[in-house]
Amino acid sequence: MQLVVAEKPSVAADLAHVIDPGAARRQGWLQGRQYAWTWALGHLAELAPPESYQPALKGRWRLELLPVVPATFRVQAREGRTAQLAVIRHLLAEAEAVVVATDAGREGELIWEYIREVCGYAGPAQRLWLSESTPTAVRAAFAALQPPRSDLAAAARARACADWVIGMNATMALSARHGGLWSAGRVQTPTLALLTAREAESRAFRPTEYVVVTVAFAAVESEFRGRWFRGKEDRLAERAAAEAIAAKVRGQPARVASLTRKRTREAPPRLFNLNDLQRAANALHGLTAADTLKAAQTLYERHKAITYPRTDSRHVSAEAFATFPERLRAIGGELAPVASRLAADLPHPGKRVVDDAQVSDHHALLPTAAAPDPAGLSPAEGKVYALVVRRFLAALLPPAVYADTEAITEVAGETFRSRSRVLLTPGWREAEPQVAARDKDEDDEEPAGGNLSRLHQGMEAACTDAEVAARQTKPPKRFTEATLLQVMETAGRLVDDEALAAAMRERGLGTPATRAQIIETLIARDYVLRQGKSLVPTERGERLVALAPPELREPATPGEWEQRLRAIEAGSEAAGPFLGDIAAVTRRIVADVGAQARAAPAPGSPAPGKRPATAPAGAREVGPRQQSGQPAASGTPAQDTSALGTCPRCGGPIVESPKAYGCANWRPEAGGCRWALWKKVAGKTLSPVQARELLARGETKRVLKGFTSQAGRKFDAQLRLERETGRVSFVFPSAAPTSANVPGTAARAAMKRGPSRAAGSPGRT
């Protein structure tokens, strides 16, 4: 009998339901008539930890023992996964052949490769290649099983080994040299460097004052507005000069000196890949990249409503295009008329959508012919599904057509520009009227021109009013997940030109399947905070980037490595030279760290080289399938064990626990000190950086966002710490309250009565 190895129990059960209905449940597998079915629970095995090659590293990370670069990498069972591995090992010993049904991509291939190696399986295997999990697609895939993907396996192993070598050695070197736990990674650290560089730009920015003049015009049956300009300048440095222009033109006759009208076609967008879907979901709905991926994976696996989500393609093959009418006929709701019209007379969108050469493993994201019941979807799933459907329709619709008008009006020797845009033909915007907000300085936009349709060149008008407004240039905006995903895809550069961006995608930071988890990892390790939609590096994150050698933080370097991994996947490069170059870079990183002056550790940090207590051996950066291959320090440390400050009550070190920042002397034998600062304050979780700040200064430097009153209203405030008790109270901005910072009744009451919450035990039992 053949054995089918899936990635999850639910996937194995779904496949068996289609191919082997009535398969009986066993312990860790299903017994069917045609196949035995089992599953991997994500990664069951992993690369062995550094101490398996260098035993002296087990108790202490020492620079003189680094780097660890294995000649041959060993694979071992993951902790807690040995029982399922034993089931698979037994089934493999009895199997005539294997059907590999893990996710059809690089990471899914790695899951099977590790299982095969740990179990010692050398028999025949075929690959099940699925781009959607509807019953029809499953039957078709089983009828056309493919040979093993040795190229994909080679790229997967090369990526995992490269991440292990760089991540493990960089983490051990930095931690050994500077004390504490400094988790570094091949993609994680360059991504963090992008965030810290933007933050540094913002801090270094010095605003420049300028003034603009806008005027109101009245003509026959038409009122419109314009902004002063002279040559290429549309702003003034001195308010007095602006006031003089306003006084000069106010109430004066005007004439439309020139009028330009043209029609503009806006091409439809390309189909979604995962990166684009995550960007749109973040910009339009505020969903994190991880939430979007989770919703998309559920839509693919459970609801069978969309195709394979972890794709980097924006195109489909001619074969997939032939299925479009069926997919269109399944679309219901408010978009059903649009979908029915397209299904009845399907236009061929050309190579913008259909291009076999642009499809490698999986085509772009599409809705399937199995439309889900909206009532059965979570809010996030509903939003993600709607985005996929709308983009599918938009890509098939014609361009949107606009009437663009620009008028130049002269008054008393001064010139004013007015612009307007009117949508003439919706085209693709019939399906996708919303667009993600552009990263622009909205305050500096020219005023809407108003009604320019009745104007003609030489037309007389009157300047009815003139206004002077003082403005400031603004610092670079912080990254949101949407903009960070964009620069990760294009090798660390914000590229708007579509052709250039496409050329750079081969050199992106990470892959669509791993970028969401990289962001979540940075947040979990207290290197980055979410503030609204913005991603802000913490003091700890900035310190790591400052300590990291240039080769570890430069975004272009992992971009080049990703390009080589794609070449290995395509069979045009061998893994050996690539891993040789990785080893050489790692040696330079370790040497650079060894030459650094030792940074002063925070009070209570482990001695340099001593492994932190929360860092047991053998861990790595956790990825979408439990192991992304981005190694970190050993273990999965939940908190930094470095002291955050000194206990105001007994002088002991303040350390982090799951629920609070509390005194390490809480045990009776150490004095039983119960001082604690609770992490949750009015619905917001305080970060270690904010806890350090409160302990050191007694209050936060900045107004913090995201508190929620008992009435459910959002408000912003600084926090003030009563050191002796650990209680915190709110300090509200001294400026007049606005809709953004007016607290709810409960919050105002808290401000009046003082501390908002009593301190207690830091979550220990």
Give, in order, the Cα–Cα distances in Å from 650 to each of 204, 258, 438, 519, 675. Answer: 40, 78, 52, 38, 9
Q: Which helix (H) or strand (E) holds 98?
A: strand 98-101
Q: Which residues pair with 401 in a beta bridge?
A: 265, 425
Q: Which is it for the CA torsion 125, 127, 133, 134, positive or negative? A: negative
Question: Can you read off the two tokens belonging to residue 117?
Answer: 């190696």
Question: Can you read off the two tokens belonging to residue 645?
Answer: 């400050």
Edge-to-edge order in the sheet of strand 24-26: 24-26, 29-31, 35-39, 2-6, 98-101, 125-127
- Scan for tokens 């963090």, then name that residue: 192
29-31 and 35-39 beta bridge pairing:
antiparallel
Q: Which residues pair with 719 in a beta bridge?
A: 730
Tell me 139's DSSP state.
Answer: H
Q: How many CA atoms lie within 13 A of 715 on its CB side?
A: 25
Query: Reduced to 3 states, what is the DSSP secondary structure of residue 172?
Result: helix
Kindly write down the DSSP assignment for every residue of 253-320, as one continuous string: EEEEEEEEEEEEEEPPPPPP-HHHHHHHHHHHH---HHHHHHHHHHHHHTS--B--SS-----B-HHH
Task: Measure the CA–CA gap between 512 and 623, rounded to whole angstroms.
Answer: 12
460-472 and 209-219 beta bridge pairing:
antiparallel
Q: Please report how the helices 150-178 and 556-570 are oriented relative to each other, as an axis angle in degrees rounded to 10.
A: 150
Residue 402 a catalytic site member: no
Q: Please report how the helices 188-204 and 481-489 are oriented relative to each other, as an axis angle in degrees rounded to 10.
A: 120
Alpha helices in 366-454 (DSSP H): 379-396
Beta-carbon contacts of 714 under 8 Å, excluding residues fewer than 6 positions away, are 706, 707, 708
Catalytic residue among 35, 300, 308, 385: 308
Q: Are 679 and 697 in contact (CB under 8 A)?
A: no
Task: Measure the CA–CA gap between 333 and 340, rounded to whole angstroms.
Answer: 11
Question: Can you read off the two tokens belonging to residue 267?
Answer: 């091409």
Task: Return the active site residues.
Answer: 308
